[in-house]
Amino acid sequence: VPAAATQGKPRLLLMGQRRSGKSSISSVVFHKMPPNETLFLESTARVQKDSMHSFMDFQVWDFPGQVDFLDPTFDLDAIFGEIGALIWVIDAQDDYLEAINRLNSTILNLQPTYPNINIEVFIHKVDGLSDDYKLDIQRDIMQRIQDELSDHGVENAPINFHLTSIYNHSIFEAFSKVIQKLIPHLPTLEALLNDLCRSCRFEKAYLFDVLSKIYIATDSSPVDMPSYEICSDYIDVIVDVAEIYGWPRSDEYIESLEGEPWNKKLEDQVACLDAESAIVLTDMKRPIMLREVNKYLALVAIMREGSFEKMPLVTMNVETVADGLTKVFEITKQRNMVS
Ligand code: GDP
């Protein structure tokens, strides 16, 4: 079951050879480290079980060293039994033949017992490589893996390829694609976001994992990088503000902020504990709105120019969709508990 995971979270395992870029990826994506600072990272030589405030469960493993398939005491099931995706990082700026050999033997070892694990190959550090060269490398790597697997009678293993770099948003884009395959009811989430875009005349809506700024669903209009970047930067701003002013807040504190006399104008509104905000960026002229859905997820949308006046209607629709999204996740959780 691809979606089965610890506490209902999709679980990702990041593997690859030393210096391939694993710690950098996890630091940039999950710990907000500026890419330049990864130059000074100590290489990982340990299992990192990040306990994170994220929608997904994420671990980093170094390879070689940590997985010895021939060691009978090694509990493979504990590691691979529940994972949704195995992300394999290959350094595209280095000689990658050894990395491919190890990946091939890992896939061949896992295939018989865990045929459903999605293998996601990150052809990494492609910044600085020309577009032609990137595609050549990708073709070469795909061919070498396919040849080796079919020599061993393994056809149609679920393997996907992504060109990534921590120096641009490609790493986030790749993670978004990886995670979306693990979301049960993704079509339902997408349908909700499509409805929202239609009813509120939004240009684009994303459901983001707040910690990593990976989007786990979006409406069906095409993703363009500038809009994605603006939305993800906006999350940073809101998260920073929420860290300072957010909960857990005592009841007295909330009362002092939101009770008499401040609540007078809000009497008609439903009490709402989630963060919500909207902003108009002057260079873009289009408002952006953000609404927290649960403790991990936030809805971020780009509105159309001039639609700020319709904010009350927008807020109402967003409220309904946020409820809908929450319900979808509750259903998923129940099903995971039953199975
Ligand atoms: P690990 O041993 O797999 O955890 O590898 P590290 O994360 O320590 O990365 C090794 C080196 O690769 C570091 O100097 C990083 O700055 C560099 N690196 C990581 N990702 C990228 C990338 O996308 N592009 C480039 N050019 N360098 C990267």
Tens digit of pLDDT for each residue in 93-151?
999 999 999 999 889 988 888 888 899 999 999 998 999 999 999 999 999 999 999 99
| SS3 state of residue 338 | helix
The rounded Å distance from CA 91 to ligand 1 centre is: 8
What pLDDT, on a 0 to 100 scale, did the predictor assign at position 114? 85
Tens digit of pLDDT for each residue in 205-222?
999 988 888 999 999 998
Amino acid letter at 56? M
Return averaged pLDDT per consecutive 10 residues of the chain, 339 residues in all.
51 87 88 84 57 70 58 70 86 94 90 88 95 96 95 89 94 91 88 92 91 90 86 83 63 64 49 58 72 86 79 84 85 56
Inter-residue long-range contacts of 104-110, CB under 8 Å, 24+ positions, other chains counted: 104/144, 104/145, 104/148, 104/149, 105/69, 106/15, 106/63, 106/67, 106/69, 107/145, 107/149, 107/154, 107/157, 107/159, 108/148, 108/149, 108/152, 108/154, 109/69, 110/80, 110/86
Amino acid letter at 44? T
C-beta separation of 57 from 12 below 8 A? yes
What pLDDT, on a 0 to 100 scale, did the predictor assign at position 220? 94
What pLDDT, on a 0 to 100 scale, did the predictor assign at position 196? 92
Pocket test for ligand 1, best of 24, 46, 168 (most atoms within 8 A of CB): 24
C-beta separation of 187 from 145 below 8 A? no
ipTM for the whole complex: 0.98
The rounded Å distance from CA 260 to ligand 1 centre is: 54
Report the alpha-carbon distance of residue 32 to residue 34 in Å, rounded.
6
Is this prediction's pTM over 0.90?
no
Report the alpha-carbon distance of residue 339 to residue 10 in Å, rounded.
15
What pLDDT, on a 0 to 100 scale, did the predictor assign at position 279? 64
Ligand 1, atom nearest to 20 Cα: 3
Q: Whose CA is nearest to atom 25 of ligand 1?
A: 125
Ligand 1, atom nearest to 93 Cα: 26
What pLDDT, on a 0 to 100 scale, did the predictor assign at position 248? 58
What pLDDT, on a 0 to 100 scale, did the predictor assign at position 223? 85
- Angle, alpha carbons 109-43-135 (nearest 5°): 65
What pLDDT, on a 0 to 100 scale, did the predictor assign at position 310? 77
Report the alpha-carbon distance of residue 209 to residue 55 in Å, rounded.
6
Report the alpha-carbon distance of residue 150 to residue 238 in Å, rounded.
49
The pocket around ligand 1, CB under 6 angstroms, is made up of: 16, 18-24, 38-39, 41, 43-44, 124-125, 127, 165-167
Q: Which of 61, 76, 53 is nearest to 23 (CA)?
A: 61
